[in-house]
Amino acid sequence: MSLLEITDLRTYYRADDGWVRATDGVSLSVDRGETVGLVGESGSGKTTLAKSIIRLFPDNAEIRGGSIEFDGTEITELTDKELRRRIRWQEISMIPQNAMNGFDPVYTVGDQIVQVIRHHEDGVSKAEARSRARDLFDELGIEPDRIDDYPHQFSGGMAQRAMIALALALGPSLVLADEPTTALDVVIQDRILETITEKQAEIDSAMIMITHDMSVVSETCDRIAVVYGGRVVEIADTRTVITNPRHPYTLGLRNAFPDISDDDQELISIPGTPPDLVDPDEGCRFAPRCPFAEEDCWDVTPEPREYEPGHLVECHRADEIDYLQEAAGRKATWQDADADGGTAVSDGGTTEDSGDDAGATAGRSDAVDPGGPDDV
């Protein structure tokens, strides 16, 4: 049995013009010790999916359907109190995009780590918890005395390391890492990623690694789930997604990232904008940007189909793999799609623009707030 089994999850945000269907029918499993990458453009629903797992989302978010089974427990049925007591930090922790927002500015970083440890582990004295926090700082390359500093006294890289310390302090079985290095200087990004994966291996935890960077996932993940418009449109082991993808969106993402083994590679971006997640149209959500969209793609929502064991794709044309891969590598394919609204190889589509990104981010919060008693 998988450690985490998400089935048909629907997490929506209440907005002025309706529900934003940020996670809209997602199924995903994670095995013990496994690292699964979530990739996709900004606004595709990666963070919402992760935050749904530990219910660390804003007040206007709601799980409207589906199930999240973690180690045999249906966690959508737990009360907030049970989730905080039994699961959050202890079993599942999160490294947010920007650690600085994750710490409470009024407590020292050390106090917040001590508080999390003592809240979850009975009988640990303050001195013991402090000594563990110091050890963790040391292991993560932060001078242990700095546990008495306030978050604003930390650089971005140090705050991110401290957040990693906090996320790993209780040896959780699952870590949710949400773009853990994007807020950092490129020079230290690699080192932080290395630190995360080393510590993860040490405590043998599974990880969901969110990123829009294909090179990060290819280095760190066992499997990759490609997220588009609130759905997982393709999932397989990392090698398959990188070398043999079947979904046109994955092919487009691959074109947009440099391949260091190919000096002559021309980077091609995917034209258009992500779908409006308030009241999305029937059919494939990628159709308005897809150069391969045919009539069915506009009308019929594709169901996930398994092509090889564990390789699932939501695309009506995914069995035409040779053609898709060859054509997707040509810049003209995507330029034509840009010019006529997504129908370079079919005359069945329409040319309507997909509209703006839902953009309704009012009340959005990345704060994990480990210091607040309600969140530990």
Q: Residues in the site for ligand ATP, rule: CB under 6 A? A: 13, 15, 20, 22, 40, 42-48, 58, 60, 212, 277, 357-364
- The dihedral region occupied by 344, where left means phi > 0, alpha psi between -120 and 50, and beta the remainder, is alpha
Name which of 126 and 364 has its Cβ closer to ligand ATP: 364
94 vs 129 by CB, closer to ligand ATP: 94
Q: How far apart are CA 228 and CA 222, in angstroms?
A: 20
Task: Give the span between the Cα atoms of 224 and 239, in whole angstroms.
Answer: 9
Q: How far is the CB of 58 from ligand ATP (least distance, A)?
A: 4
What is the nearest approach in angstroms of ligand ATP to the Cβ of residue 331? Answer: 26
3-class secondary-structure state, position 2: coil
- Give 271 or 359: the residue with its C-beta nearer to ligand ATP: 359
Find the shortest distance in angstroms from Cβ 79 to ligand ATP: 22
* Identity of the residue, 67 or 365, whose beta carbon is nearer to ligand ATP in the bound complex: 365
- Locus of tokens 């039994």: 86
Task: Report CA-CA distances (Å) from 317 to 84, 237, 304, 340.
Answer: 44, 20, 12, 20
Q: Which is closer to ligand ATP, CB of 129 or CB of 175?
A: 175
DSSP characters over 44-99: SSHHHHHHHHHT---TTEEEEEEEEEETTEEGGGS-HHHIIIIIBTTTEEEE-S-H
Minimum separation from the CB atom of position 42 to ligand ATP (A): 3
With respect to ligand ATP, which residue has the nearer C-beta, 60 or 67?
Answer: 60
Task: Pick left, alpha or beta for residue 23 (phi over 0 → left; psi -120 to 50 → alpha; otherwise beta).
Answer: beta
CB of 257 to ligand ATP, least distance (A): 15
Q: What is the DSSP letter of 374?
A: G
| Cβ proximity to ligand ATP, 18 vs 33, nearer residue | 18
Residue 84 CB, shortest distance to ligand ATP, in Å, is: 21
Contact 35, 221 (CB under 8 A): yes
- Minimum Å gap between C-beta 333 and ligand ATP is 25
